Amino acid sequence: MRIFATVIAAALTVVITATAQAFCGFYVARADTSLFNKASQVILVRDDNRTVITMANDFEGEVKDFAVVIPVPTRIEREQINVGDRAIVEHLDAYTAPRLVEYHDPDPCMRYEYLKSSQDRAVPQATVAERERKVARSLGVTIEASYTVGEYDILILSAEDSGGLIRWLTDNEYKLPKGAEKVVDSYLKQDMRFFVAKINLEEQSKLGYQFLRPLQVAYESNKFMLPIRLGTLNAKGKQELYVYALTRTGRVETTNYRTVKLPSDTEVPEFVQGEFAEFYRAMFEKQVEKENERAVFLEYAWDMGWCDPCAADPLSSDELRKLGVFWVGDSAERSKIAPQAQNVFVTRLHVRYDSKHFPEDLVFQETGDRQNYQGRYIIRHPWKGEASCDISSYQADVRKRQEREAQALANLTGWDIDDIRSKIPFPDDTPPPPTDPWWKRLWG
């Protein structure tokens, strides 16, 4: 009897202690625009010579004192001007923000070759996934699908019997609560359906500014540019600017300044999870200095239809239309693409500028590059469970890895290496797991 197996909390609590290595980590934090002061956001929708620009400014003070000058390359009629929705800008910011993800080491006493190969980053993800599927099939379990929906990472399985399903969950570090095996067996005999899901933890940021609703302007021009020079005239110091470009073709880059990818896919120590905002600010400042304060940095480039891992849901067709993505929902356009696809590629650029280092307005060009990129930083949690074998070799490997992570963090941020090391619980410094009854630890 084959069933779709998914686990929801109402039926069975399954504590997930390790991520399947075919995933790109579980999302735990993001670096949105609230991390930086004096940050302005501009959304550019571009197709051929048509542009829709949405501007969200970080205006501080009384609303009556607000004024803005918007240079545009052509005559603007009243119908070309609109007032947008701030919430959509915030959604786009969250969706494209650089992110922190986490993995958990498997039990070092579990000697399965497929676990070793799945951790080898030189092996293509597709190959790793296929190996995992073969191991699952040998236990009578089939990995039907893996995807992210909203704030949940979901795995769908099918199984021939409860024994194979239990074995697969155990081997992949899905720790089952006491007595779960009998419960699972009873549900499988009833041909019940289940979910196995993990919630992504999102940090909720409150912006410390008084924002006005964004202004939108639609126009036609061969010039694909963004005027920034007026903004430096009365600026108090350097300005932070985020540009989100939405196109049909691919990634957008600047032509009169260097477009540089931020360091990504770097493993950092565990404590960065509690200091991600400080880490990202320090890392960005170090990269700005490295490029002599004259570069535009790429933080995200991705097809709008999906994300991995998701810091927020992709924008809906309705939200994209409100931003001016006029081709979304067009019947002729829908006939060219698959159902559910948006045919929108988003680029997120971040620049810190002043009149000295950015004397010219930003000039852009569309490229045909649709390769996905994201600012992504990785935490790998060492195994902290009880060991049923000698794990001294594993602990030595963890210590070496933690030292590499400390060195990488120091290089990215300029932080003192000894201060970093002092925050890392190396294996021989880690206290043993608590032995008190669970209820003694319940309220601290």
Question: What tokens appear for 443 in the block?
Answer: 């309220």
Question: What tokens appear for 163 in the block?
Answer: 């024994």
With a CB cutoff of 8 Å and minimum separation 6, the contacts of 196 are 5, 6, 7, 14, 16, 154, 155, 156, 157, 169, 174
With a CB cutoff of 8 Å and minimum separation 6, the contacts of 271 are 423, 424
With a CB cutoff of 8 Å and minimum separation 6, the contacts of 80 are 217, 218, 219
Report the candidate in 323, 307, 341 with the shortest Cα–Cα distance to residue 47.
Answer: 323
Q: What is the pLDDT of residue 248?
A: 94
Condensed to tens digits (0 to 9), the pLDDT of residues 42-84 reads: 999 999 999 998 988 665 655 444 555 555 677 677 778 788 8
Q: What is the pLDDT of residue 293?
A: 94
Name the packing angle between helices 392-413 and 276-290 (round to 10°). 50
Question: What tokens appear for 11 in the block?
Answer: 């039926």
Residue ranges, the chain, pLDDT below 70: 1-25, 57-72, 75, 111-212, 230-235, 330-342, 428-436, 438-441, 443-444
> Given the structure tokens 């699952």, which residue do they identify?
136
Where do the domains of the chain lie?
Answer: 35-99+207-376
Report d(CA 149, CA 317) in Å as an integer.
16
Q: What is the pLDDT of residue 267?
A: 93
Q: What is the pLDDT of residue 349?
A: 97
Q: What is the pLDDT of residue 1?
A: 35
Q: What is the pLDDT of residue 301?
A: 96
Q: CA 218 → CA 48, 77, 208, 243, 296, distances in Å?
A: 13, 9, 29, 16, 25
With a CB cutoff of 8 Å and minimum separation 6, the contacts of 285 are none
Q: 3-class secondary structure for the chain?
A: CCEEECCCCCCCCCEECCCCCCCCCEEEEECCHHHCCCEEEEEEEEECCEEEEEEECCCCCCHHHCCCCCCCCCCCCHHHEEECCHHHHHHHHHHHCCEEEEEECCCCCCCCHHHHHHCCCCCCHHHHHHHHHHHHHHCCEEEEEEEEECCEEEEEEEECCHHHHHHHHHHCCEECCCCHHHHHHHHHHCCCCCCEEEECCCCCCCCCCCCCCCEEEEEECCCCEECCCHHHCCCCCCEEEEEEEEECCCCEEECCCEEEECCCCEECCHHHHHHHHHHHHHHHHHHHHHCCCCEEEEEEEEECCCCCCCCCCCCCHHHHHHCCCCCCCCHHHHCCCCCCCCCCEEEEEEEEECCCCCCCCEEEEECCCCCCEECEEEEEECCCCCCCCCCHHHHHHHHHHHHHHHHHHHHHHCCCHHHHHHCCCCHHHCCCCCCCCHHHHCCC
